[in-house]
Structure 1
Amino acid sequence: MPSRGVAAPPVAADYQRSLALRGDWSHLTRDVPFPARWSDDGKTLYYRKTVQEGFAFVAMDRATLRKAPAFDAKRIAAALGRATGERVTGRDLPFDSFTIRGNPRHLEFMIHDEDWSCGLQDDACGPVQTGLRPRGFDAVRDLRVPARNTPVPSPDGTWEAFVRADNVVVRAKAGGAETRLSLDGTASDFYDPESIVWSPDSRHLAVLRVRPGFARYVTRVEAAPRDGGQPRIHTQLYPKPGDIIDSEQPVLFDVASGRGRDIRTDDFADAYPLRNGDVGWSRDGKFLMFPFVQRGYQRAGFISVEVETGRAHLAADERARTFVDAGRLYEHVVGNEGRELIWVSERDGWRHLYLFDMTTGHIERQITKGPWVVREVLRVDDRKREIWFGASGMTPGEDPYFVHYYRIGFDGSHLTALTPETANHHAAISPDGALLADTYSRVDLASRSMLRSAEDGHVVGSVETGDDTGLRATGFRPPEVFHAKGRDGTTDIWGLVVRPRDYDPARKYPVVENIYAGPHDSFVPKDFWPFGYHSGGDKVIGMQALADLGFIVVQIDGMGTANRSRAFHDVAWKNLADSGFPDRILWHRAMAARDPSYDITRVGIYGGSAGGQSALNALLFHPEFYKAAVAFAGCYDNRMDKIDWNEQWLGWPVDESYVRASGVENAGRLQGRLLMIVGEQDANVDPSSTFQVASALIRANKNFELLVVPGGGHATGRSEGPIGYAERREFGFFVRTLQDGREPDWNRLSETDRTNRHEE
């Protein structure tokens, strides 16, 4: 048997090939469909698919299955280019999913987490302006911006309500004198005009009275504006853990009598602010209803208010010893009559659907049950008393993260599987509830899309069948899926492995882990599309680019992440320093025992945002295993980061758990080699988090590397900034620290040299 050798360090041409891999490979598949959406009338299915040199946007007629371009992509590209000042082509529009609605018709989509709209007749493109007052992470209203105070008409068209001088006013819609319904509103305790909601019978209205929270602002200096000139100052409303948040008091007004009544309930005390649209009415106008999450995320529920008496009671109550996952709450008022409520709960240790009696707050029955997880609810049919939902972990022997879709009765009967293929499914149900548009794939199976009956799942028609022949012909090798036992010795931990295209099992390869351990989700890819369904972030293709420089690159979902049991998830509670490392290290060791080429004496790790915090923590808390780390835009001290994400997992008030996870407090523990990369204008994670770690490392006399990208945002190194620059710095760092190699002298390479090397 040949001796195990070590591959030669990469040269400039190898880096260039890796950095060009996304561009070289991204258009080699054909007819790979992305998850679809239905038109509002349910007659048309809209989706994106891969074609030669880019993407096409398709509209398929439901009745005939005929396909046509959904819109003129070249025109939209030109309009988007004018609106953004960026180069946009019709074959590479910067969004994955879209909707067409309205008259005149307009195209709706998202760019960089911002809603956009383009008119299909006038080609006018721009961000969607809601006119609503911004809020800092949904916790504090930005009082620098006036609230939208457009009069809100009553359903019968008789009245309209608005706020004048911080108080609620009504007047006849046809004109006439104004009637003040409140007199106690002040600038420091005001009625919010954006929260006004009329009862269906137009007799009552509800509104929130608000005591403003603490307006904390983060200040950033833009040292090198792209258009030249002097540095600029940017301020951002940025509430942090422990800050005083907006306090809201629901108030109910009787329009005829002018009487107002505060909705008093201890259950709503210390609640996080409600979102626009959270407050609603029963169809008969007898009940006012709204959800709540108490601060600290250990209690949530749904409140029903009897309008005639003002009595408020819990229609559903969710409590947790650790946390209630607010991002995964779901409620549906059956028939909108205020009598029954479908609610998601983890009270039996798994995320399931329950039917509550809203008048008593008692559970009528548990609808779904078993050692598996409800992932989403597609549709509730109140008349048929049936639910369509997605779930994972129900099929024995299958990857427990694969989502399948099901139909079930309110009483838990007639559970029907609708998407049987062993794959990860994305489904959209037609507005009439008759059809499912099902797109499914695996990392080793190109995406397929079809129409199914929502009754029993039988295939009605084929939409698209993806073809990855061209991609595989260039050397694409699907990631290897691997699972091993976690820290408890019984739970399977799932991950995937990406090897170099010239992988030689007779060699020893250093290992690099791509980590994101945020408790809000699971992250190991389950879908085929190696470039990701959404813009930004790390994809399989990025892992392949690094692997081709002589590494084995892996990604793992350890304990503390979501979409498994409650116990699996609870590991994260007040324990963000854990990041699933005990499970990850066992997974690595199991992989090494199986594969001699997997060298766990040379393990590196990289990640961004919460993954950046985890990458640093690998060197602080597990230096015996991890030797090098690249941390992008990390929230290294959770006291410096945004309020909502951090209080969700570490609780409130701020306590010792924030200190235990802090890279600042633990900087003196650093061992191994560290590179931190941060964008100067990061609006997601306060850049001060990076600089405070750097300061602490210097005080501790620790060596490290720091790259600050002027003007860069949160995604610096992935989808922003100089193309490939931060990523090349990451690649070179791992070559130096794990391979003992030397990077090319990039400063001495001319553009001609680089081009020639790439063409080699």
Structure 2
Amino acid sequence: MRRIAALVFVLPLFVQAQDKKEYTDLKDALFTAYRFGESPGPSQVTWIEGGNRLSYKTESEGILTLDPATGEEHPVLKGKNLRFPGSGKVFSYESFQWAADGKHLVFTSNPRQIFRRSTVSDFYVYDLGAGELRLAAKDARSAGLSPDGSMVGIVREGNMYVDDLGAGKEAQLTHDDGVGEFNGFYDWVYEEEFGKAQAWNWSPDSRYIAYWHFDERKVPVFQMTNFEGTHPEYEQIPIPDPGDPNPSVRIGVVDVHTHKNVWLEPEEKGDFYIPRMYWTSDPDVVALVTLNRAQNHLKLYFFNVRTGARRVVLEEKNQTWISIFNFYTGVDDMFYFPEKTKEFFWVSDRSGYSHIYRYGYDGKTLGTVTSGNWDVLKVTGIDPATETLYYLSGEAGPLEQQLYRIHFDGTGKQRLSQEAGYHDIDMGPNARFYLDTYSNSGTPTQVALRDRDGKTLKILADGSAGAAFLEQYAYAPTEYFKVTATDGTTLDASMIKPFHFDSSKRYPVVFDVYGGPESHNVYNRFAIDGWRQWLAQNGYIVVDVNNRGSAGYGSAFLKIVYKQLGRWESNDFAETARFLSNLPFVDSTRMAIMGTSYGGYSTVYTLLTHPGVFKAGIANSPVTDWRLYDDIYTERYMGLPAGNEDGYRKSACETYAANLQGHLLLIHSMSDDNVHPAHTMQLLTALTNAGRDADLRIYPPGGHGAVYNLESYLLIAGVGYHYLEQYLK
């Protein structure tokens, strides 16, 4: 490298003890990490009574509620004491939800997976007062109690239904055949790329259900099989590639009492998206978000659900793309409509950094709430009574996620989280209390219940699981360093050194990466990763990088990848590798890069466009040509193919097949509905035509990532490890 930075390490608060247990094999490493690395604290946490109480589940006590003000816990239901209706069989369930009335629970039981987020399940309603459990819907896509607790909304076989609990009667609200046209759930590409599974919502007053209607009959069909049996069956799924026809989408609002349906018709015509819909504090008004197909022109509509009348209250255009959620950071929404106020908030990067903007229902800007050269990561709570807003941001540094509060007018900003590192906040709807799950590289994950001022009321998980792991097992902690790229850009990266590290020795390096736009892999947080610890135990340095395209560094850093995926990600991995090559304890002749999904793409693209930097690569389920991936994700970052033909060609791995110098292992499943097997197959053809070869492992029954059971998980991990041993040791 022509320009390199000094290596700056943030040392953790503990050091590895030399007399701790080490793993006997890879299985031991993976399962020990799983046992100690499970999410601490209670599971299935739900705020009830507007945020004044907390509900959660424990294995020993079943469902409990907690009063944060007093610290008192109250048992609600022990699963072993409940039986399936009409049966002596002990009731079992996957998850539960509370009605707003606090008197009913809806249980999801017997779920059967469809796509990433969606299932078909059986739904049961439990009346806490009567102690009665009844079947509300069998084989349904979703079900949910009305806010007043009197009805259950149900999606079954492509139609919406409502079950009146008092009358014991079910009524059908929509009437489509469920094949090609359907209501209340998303098609494959909306679910996958806009991040939700349930495509309907109750109105706050329990009078209406607003829902998505899909017609996907013109969408091209993808088919796949796991090759089982003498005549394998093919599953067919409509999935549009870039430039393909999309499903047509409408929003309907139905009165559950009169069954009158009103269609909400935006002014857009032709091909556009409706990715989000929100009920406002006005019971007759729904806010609707539309995006053009290029996803760089957004409109926010207010619709009167009684008449269908509309008005545009906000419009935004961008030179790249506009985000309406972030899968990687757990952000479901960029718009927020608090109750009991005629104001809403929007998170936008229009200033070059993501910040919070305040609007009235008339569409007039009421001010900028936050500002600065840092990104707001997530709005966690809004309190209209005190005009206070709570949010997570990277103001303390891009490796930090800290909680702040601020007044609606942008005054009185205060940092509430005090511990350095990564804080994930689950705040009640009234912003009175919140759960803070936090850690840093030297502090195992803890969970604290806190009030709106940040005062700790109760510790729900004290980090003892992580502490017990550190007490018993040898551990290589994460260290952090910075790289200055050739063009002067600073990159944050992490390193896990080998057990019993000796600075006089030279070690092989494994880059374990993802790299996709809007992701963010390197944070100052505690992690027990069995795969990385196994590599460290066996003498590897494990590296990760927040490459360009990562979120949390402002729009210029994030959006430089627009219409040229692969270029800057691979550049930053190669720059980091060259920087490491100058360290006395790194063997630059023994470097590998690996990843899954976008990480697989990063692996292949880096090997082919920066030949000679890495000796080996392992790509699991890799994208190899963006013309073969789904349209919503791809066109967001690459534009439409007709307007960026050269960009698509340059971003395709096949374009550089003749450049392969190192060893490449490709892993794929024939049943991958996300990154289709065609990616790997077309890359193999291109490599063969260029006189190059690669190693291949196919696991037909697996999904995305190729894993389909415990044995395949261990086997695939083992194959990857032995590949590294073969070429780096």
**TM bracket, shorter-chain basis:** 0.7 to 0.9
Alignment deviations for residues 463-522 of structure 1 (CA, whole Å, 9 cap, x no partner): 33113343223211221122222454253x222112222332222111110110111321
Partner of 2:356: 353
Pair 259,448 (structure 1): closer, same or farther in 2 beyond 3 Å: closer
Return the offset for 1:560.
0.8
| Residue pair 2:569, 2:602 contacting (<8 A) in 1 also | no
Pair 251,509 (structure 1): closer, same or farther in 2 beyond 3 Å: closer
Name the CA distance, whole Å, in 2 between partners of 1:423 and 1:708: 40
| Residue pair 1:101, 1:107 contacting (<8 A) in 2 also | no
Name the CA distance, whole Å, in 1 between partners of 2:387 and 2:211: 32
| Residue pair 2:291, 2:298 contacting (<8 A) in 1 also | yes
Name the CA distance, whole Å, in 1 between partners of 2:689 and 2:373: 49
SS of the equivalent of 2:420 reads coil
Return the offset for 1:413.
1.2
RMSD between aligned alpha carbons? 4.5
Partner of 1:679: 669
Return the offset for 1:636.
1.2
Q: More displaced, 319-328 or 289-298? A: 319-328
- Map 1:430-509 → 2, pairs under 5 A: 430-454=428-452, 456-467=453-464, 468-472=466-470, 473-491=472-490, 493-509=491-507
Uncovered stretches (5+) of structure 2, i.e. residues with no partner:
1-21, 144-155, 165-170, 186-198, 327-332
- The sequence identity of aligned pairs, in percent, is 23
Name the CA distance, whole Å, in 2 between partners of 1:24 and 1:202: 47
Partner of 2:423: 425
Partner of 1:9: none
| Residue pair 2:422, 2:524 contacting (<8 A) in 1 also | yes
Task: Give the TM-score normalised by the residue count of structure 2.
Answer: 0.76
In the alignment, does 2:605 pair up with 1:597? Answer: no
Name the CA distance, whole Å, in 2 between partners of 1:645 and 1:722: 28
SS of the equivalent of 1:703 reads coil
SS of the equivalent of 1:722 reads helix
| Residue pair 2:399, 2:523 contacting (<8 A) in 1 also | no
The one-letter code matched in structure 2 to 1:729 is V
- Map 1:254-653 → 2, pairs under 5 A: 263=265, 265-266=267-268, 270-274=271-275, 278=277, 280=279, 283=282, 285=284, 287-305=285-303, 312-328=310-326, 329-333=333-337, 335=339, 339-359=342-362, 361-392=363-394, 394-395=395-396, 398=397, 400-454=398-452, 456-467=453-464, 468-472=466-470, 473-491=472-490, 493-524=491-522, 526-530=524-528, 540-593=529-582, 595-653=583-641
Alignment deviations for residues 375-402 of structure 1 (CA, whole Å, 9 cap, x no partner): 111222233322121112x12xx4x132
Match of 2:25 among 17, 36, 44: 17
The one-letter code matched in structure 2 to 1:353 is I
Name the CA distance, whole Å, in 2 between partners of 1:574 and 1:505: 42
| Residue pair 1:349, 1:565 contacting (<8 A) in 2 also | yes
Pair 223,347 (structure 1): closer, same or farther in 2 beyond 3 Å: same
Partner of 1:730: 720
Name the CA distance, whole Å, in 2 between partners of 1:342 and 1:685: 35
Pair 409,36 (structure 1): closer, same or farther in 2 beyond 3 Å: farther
Partner of 1:216: 220
SS of the equivalent of 2:436 reads strand
The one-letter code matched in structure 1 to 2:366 is E
Return the offset for 1:630.
0.4
Name the CA distance, whole Å, in 2 between partners of 1:641 and 1:444: 40
Uncovered stretches (5+) of structure 1, i.e. residues with no partner:
1-13, 84-89, 134-144, 154-159, 167-186, 531-539, 740-760
SS of the equivalent of 2:704 reads coil
Name the CA distance, whole Å, in 1 between partners of 2:81 and 2:492: 44
Name the CA distance, whole Å, in 1 between partners of 2:42 and 2:209: 43
Return the offset for 1:198.
9.8
In the alignment, does 2:45 pair up with 1:37? Answer: yes
Partner of 1:65: 71
Task: Give the TM-score normalised by the residue count of structure 1.
Answer: 0.74
SS of the equivalent of 2:245 reads coil
Pair 236,207 (structure 1): closer, same or farther in 2 beyond 3 Å: closer
| Residue pair 2:545, 2:573 contacting (<8 A) in 1 also | yes
Pair 66,647 (structure 1): closer, same or farther in 2 beyond 3 Å: same
The one-letter code matched in structure 2 to 1:626 is F
Q: More displaced, 36-45 or 555-564? A: 36-45
Alignment deviations for residues 547-606 of structure 1 (CA, whole Å, 9 cap, x no partner): 33332111111111222201111122112112523333333344444x411122322100
| Residue pair 2:42, 2:56 contacting (<8 A) in 1 also | no
| Residue pair 2:281, 2:338 contacting (<8 A) in 1 also | no
Match of 2:700 among 697, 704, 710: 710
Partner of 1:758: none
| Residue pair 1:15, 1:549 contacting (<8 A) in 2 also | no
Return the offset for 1:61.
4.9
Name the CA distance, whole Å, in 2 between partners of 1:125 and 1:576: 49
Name the CA distance, whole Å, in 1 between partners of 2:391 and 2:242: 34
Pair 522,200 (structure 1): closer, same or farther in 2 beyond 3 Å: closer
Name the CA distance, whole Å, in 2 between partners of 1:199 and 1:65: 32
Name the CA distance, whole Å, in 2 between partners of 1:444 and 1:666: 42
Name the CA distance, whole Å, in 2 between partners of 1:253 and 1:326: 26
Pair 70,693 (structure 1): closer, same or farther in 2 beyond 3 Å: farther
The one-letter code matched in structure 2 to 1:413 is T
- Map 1:111-122 → 2, pairs under 5 A: 113-114=117-118
Name the CA distance, whole Å, in 1 between partners of 2:39 and 2:370: 36
| Residue pair 1:511, 1:552 contacting (<8 A) in 2 also | yes
The one-letter code matched in structure 2 to 1:223 is F
Pair 105,353 (structure 1): closer, same or farther in 2 beyond 3 Å: same
Pair 470,210 (structure 1): closer, same or farther in 2 beyond 3 Å: closer
Q: More displaced, 324-333 or 601-610? A: 324-333
| Residue pair 1:36, 1:437 contacting (<8 A) in 2 also | no
The one-letter code matched in structure 1 to 2:225 is V
Name the CA distance, whole Å, in 1 between partners of 2:349 and 2:667: 38
The one-letter code matched in structure 1 to 2:600 is G
SS of the equivalent of 1:222 reads coil
Alignment deviations for residues 16-55 of structure 1 (CA, whole Å, 9 cap, x no partner): 6234212234445899547883442342353779x9xxx9
Pair 123,283 (structure 1): closer, same or farther in 2 beyond 3 Å: closer
Alignment deviations for residues 308-340 of structure 1 (CA, whole Å, 9 cap, x no partner): 997644312222111112324511235577x53
| Count of aligned residue pairs for this structure pair | 645
SS of the equivalent of 1:639 reads helix
The one-letter code matched in structure 1 to 2:533 is Q
| Residue pair 1:35, 1:426 contacting (<8 A) in 2 also | no
Name the CA distance, whole Å, in 2 between partners of 1:75 and 1:567: 57
| Residue pair 2:670, 2:676 contacting (<8 A) in 1 also | no
Alignment deviations for residues 583-634 of structure 1 (CA, whole Å, 9 cap, x no partner): 33333344444x4111223221000011111110111101131221100011
The one-letter code matched in structure 2 to 1:224 is E
In the alignment, does 2:669 pair up with 1:692? Answer: no
SS of the equivalent of 1:666 reads helix
SS of the equivalent of 2:525 reads coil
Pair 528,199 (structure 1): closer, same or farther in 2 beyond 3 Å: closer
